[in-house]
Structure 1
Amino acid sequence: MSVLAYFAAALAEIAGCFSFWAWLRLDRSPWWLVPGIASLCLFAYLLTLVDLQHAGRTYAAYGGVYILSSLAWLWLAEGVRPDRWDSIGATVCLIGAAIIVWAPRGG
């Protein structure tokens, strides 16, 4: 469930942020902000579904998923294929996220 929540949250955050990008950088209508704000609210809710005890760790681990999802957005929505440096960077971030989530912690 946590992995699904992370990827759904990433999609919601990217879509919400893109609505602001479209409005301010692509000269789209301010009406783009309405679904964008709703999407950002959904993003915040979805992160509460992640099964980690502390919010800070939830957000830190989310960073790796966000980076991977952003590169997918770059490729699928913007038509720019990520290069090897993007892939290496995303892999490093996902390894870091996995360490944060699954590290053995006492107490």
Structure 2
Amino acid sequence: MTTAIVYILAAIAEIAGCFSFWAWLRLEKSPVWIAPGMVSLAAFAWLLTRVDSEAAGRAYAAYGAVYICASLSWLWAVEGTRPDRWDTLGAAVCLVGAGIILLGPRSVAV
């Protein structure tokens, strides 16, 4: 599985898991919402271990940009609020940063 696909699936799992808790606590939904949320968050954590990176922190840092973009997509698709130009610009900057973090050349430690 490619890194991009893993990050996209991880973002979906994380947002769905977090939203289940949001629905329970903020939208006063049934506590039953917690169970699928926990499964979703476990899937998110497992998916991040599939990223081809020598360091977990680097994989997590780069994932952050994908999460931001996915959150803005959720904002639009689920909450009905269209991201504005500042949201879009900020997400683009984050994606460029993620690319630098994940794909930048690394020097060999001596």
Deviating runs (4+, > 2 A) in structure 1? none
Q: How does 1:1-107 map to 2 (within 5 A)?
A: 1-107=2-108
Normalising by structure 2, what TM-score? 0.96
SS of residue paired to 1:94: helix
CA distance in 1, matches of 2:92, 2:23: 28
CA distance in 2, matches of 1:75, 1:50: 27
List alignment gaps of at least 5 residues for structure 1. none
CA distance in 2, matches of 1:43, 1:94: 19
* Cα-to-partner distance string for 1:24-54 (whole Å, 9 max, x where unaligned): 0000000000000000000000000110110
SS of residue paired to 2:75: helix
CA distance in 2, matches of 1:100, 1:70: 20
Normalising by structure 1, what TM-score? 0.99
**How much has 1:106 moved relative to structure 2?**
1.4
CA distance in 2, matches of 1:37, 1:105: 36
Q: Which amino acid aligns with 2:31?
A: P
Q: Percent identity?
A: 63
* Cα-to-partner distance string for 1:56-95 (whole Å, 9 max, x where unaligned): 0000000000000000000111111000010011011111
List alignment gaps of at least 5 residues for structure 2. none
CA distance in 1, matches of 2:3, 2:49: 10
